[in-house]
Every structure is written in structure tokens, then in C-alpha cells.
């Protein structure tokens, strides 16, 4: 059983801009982790030959969303890693094992926060 997510205060517009961004990060972090989980499922499927077009598209969409958000939340470098993952997924061919390394890197960036 996983431990509950840390409780963070609701975003306030009265603090410093960095504080507001950090509060938003904690609010949306569970959604970001769900997107990384989609990419992890894609890696597992690709590794064992079960990657379907639907899962590949779902993972590409998750990577696209991560590309647009990680650096905005101060997770420097995360957007570039997610963009590379999206390019691999949209490019056809077998994304494994490069995708596995990218997903591990994304998870480390997200969980380090």
C-alpha cells in the first residue's frame, strides 16, 4: 500500500511567484505521476512485445502533456526529456530500450520534488 500524498496548502496568490508555482506543483503532482505511470506501462509493454497502437498513443499524449508542464513547475530539464520520449513514441519503430531510460529519468525528476 502506498503512503498518502503529502498535504500541501491550496495555492495562494499572496505569496512570491515561486511559492505559488510550488503550491501548484504539489496540487498537480499526482496527475503528473499518473502520466509517468502511463509511460512506464508503455515501456513494459514494449519490452515484452505487447505494445498496442492505443497504448503507444496514450503514452505519446502523456509525454506531450509532460513536455508542456514540467519546466513550468520548476522541474528543470523534465520537459526536454518528455519531448524526446514523445518523439520516440510518435516516430514508429521499437522505442525500447531508450524509452525505458527516459521514463526512469522522468520519474526521478518528478519524485525528487
Cis peptide bond N-terminal to 97, omega within 30: yes
Written as one string, the DSSP assignment of the chain is: -PPPPPP-PPP-TTS-HHHHHHHHHHHHHHHHHHHHHHHHHHHHHHHTT---HHHHHHHHHHHHHHHHHTGGGT-TTHHHHHHHHHHHHHT-S--TTHHHHHHHHHHHHHHT-
Tell me what the mean pLDDT of segment 31-44 comes to: 97
pLDDT digits (tens, 9 = 90+) for 14-28: 556 678 888 999 999
- pLDDT tier, 113 (very low <50, low <70, confident <90, very high otherwise): low
Q: What's the chain's average pLDDT?
A: 87
Q: What pLDDT is attached to residue 5?
A: 53
pTM over 0.75: yes
Residue 85 has pLDDT above 70, yes or no: yes
User: In the chain, what are the domains?
Assistant: 17-111 (1.20.120)
For residues 106 and 24, what is the distance between their CA atoms, to the nearest angstrom?
19
Amino acid at each position: 500500500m502506498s503512503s498518502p500524498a503529502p498535504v500541501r496548502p491550496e495555492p495562494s496568490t499572496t505569496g512570491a511567484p515561486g511559492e505559488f508555482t510550488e503550491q501548484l506543483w504539489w496540487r498537480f503532482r499526482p496527475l503528473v505521476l499518473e502520466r509517468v505511470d502511463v509511460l512506464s506501462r508503455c515501456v513494459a509493454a514494449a519490452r515484452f512485445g505487447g505494445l498496442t497502437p492505443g497504448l503507444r498513443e496514450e503514452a505519446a499524449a502523456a509525454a506531450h502533456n509532460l513536455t508542456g508542464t514540467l519546466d513550468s513547475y520548476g522541474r528543470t530539464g523534465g520537459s526536454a526529456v518528455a519531448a524526446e520520449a514523445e518523439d520516440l513514441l510518435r516516430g514508429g519503430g521499437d522505442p525500447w530500450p531508450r524509452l525505458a531510460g527516459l521514463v526512469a529519468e522522468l520519474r526521478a525528476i518528478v519524485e525528487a520534488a
